[in-house]
Amino acid sequence: MNRIRILAMIMGLYCPGAITLADCPQSDPVVIAHRGASGHLPEHTLAAFKLAIEMGADYIEPDLVITKDGEFIVRHDHYLSQTTDIADKPEFSSRRRDLGGRNDWFSEDFTLAEIKTLRARQPFKGRSREHDGIHPIPRFQDVIELVKNESERLGKAVGIYPETKEPGYFETLGFDVDEMLIALLDKNGMNEHDSKVIIQSFEPEILRSLNNRVNVPLVQLVSPSGNKVNEDGSYQSNISLGELSEYADGVGAAKWLLVNQQGKANDFVSRAKKLGLFIHAWTFREDAYPEELFASGEEELKFFLKMGIDGYFTDFPDTDVKVKEWCQQ
Which residues of the shown chain bind ligand G3P in the complex (CB under 6 A)?
A: 34, 63, 76, 163, 200, 221, 252, 282-283, 313
Closer residue to ligand G3P, CB minimum distance, 63 or 104: 63
Closer residue to ligand G3P, CB minimum distance, 37 or 114: 37
Q: Which does 83 bind (CB under 5 to 8 A by kind): ligand G3P, Ca ion, none?
A: none
How far apart are CB 291 and ligand G3P at their closest, in Å?
Answer: 21
Asked if 136 and 124 touch (Cβ cutoff 8 Å), the reply is: no
Burial class (CB in 10 A: 0-12, 13-18, 19+), 312: buried
Alpha helices in 70-176 (DSSP H): 112-115, 140-154, 167-172
**Binders in 68-87 for Ca ion, by CB under 5 A:** none
Alpha helices in 71-120 (DSSP H): 112-115
Closer residue to ligand G3P, CB minimum distance, 60 or 114: 60
Q: How far is CA 32 from CA 52, 107, 134, 302, in A?
A: 9, 25, 24, 16
Q: Is residue 163 a contact residue for Ca ion (CB under 5 A)?
A: yes
Residue 117 and residue 139: Cα distance in Å, rounded?
A: 13
Burial class (CB in 10 A: 0-12, 13-18, 19+), 196: middle
**Binders in 51-70 for Ca ion, by CB under 5 A:** 63
Closer residue to ligand G3P, CB minimum distance, 61 or 142: 61
Q: How far is CA 276 from CA 30, 114, 165, 196, 270, in A?
A: 17, 44, 25, 19, 10
Asked if 137 and 115 touch (Cβ cutoff 8 Å), the reply is: yes
Residue 317 and residue 302: Cα distance in Å, rounded?
A: 14
How far apart are CB 266 and Ca ion at their closest, in Å?
Answer: 24
Q: In the bound complex, which residue of the shown chain has the CB atom lying closest to Ca ion?
A: 163
How far apart are CB 63 and ligand G3P at their closest, in Å?
Answer: 5
Q: In the bound complex, which residue of the shown chain has the CB atom lying closest to ligand G3P?
A: 282
Closer residue to ligand G3P, CB minimum distance, 263 or 314: 314
Q: Which does 283 bind (CB under 5 to 8 A by kind): Ca ion, ligand G3P, none?
A: ligand G3P
How far apart are CB 254 and ligand G3P at their closest, in Å?
Answer: 8
How far apart are CB 13 and ligand G3P at their closest, in Å?
Answer: 26
How far apart are CB 201 and ligand G3P at their closest, in Å?
Answer: 9
Closer residue to ligand G3P, CB minimum distance, 200 or 234: 200
How far apart are CB 59 and Ca ion at their closest, in Å?
Answer: 11
Q: Which does 252 bind (CB under 5 to 8 A by kind): ligand G3P, Ca ion, none?
A: ligand G3P
Residue 64 and residue 213: Cα distance in Å, rounded?
A: 19
Helix, strand or coil, per DSSP, at residue 187? helix
Residue 193 and residue 182: Cα distance in Å, rounded?
A: 14
State residue 270 phi and psi, 5-degree precision.
-70, -35
Beta bridge mates, 139 = 73
Closer residue to ligand G3P, CB minimum distance, 14 or 53: 53
How far apart are CB 12 and ligand G3P at their closest, in Å?
Answer: 28
Closer residue to Ca ion, CB minimum distance, 36 or 263: 36
Residues of this chain that interact with Ca ion (CB under 5 A) are: 63, 163
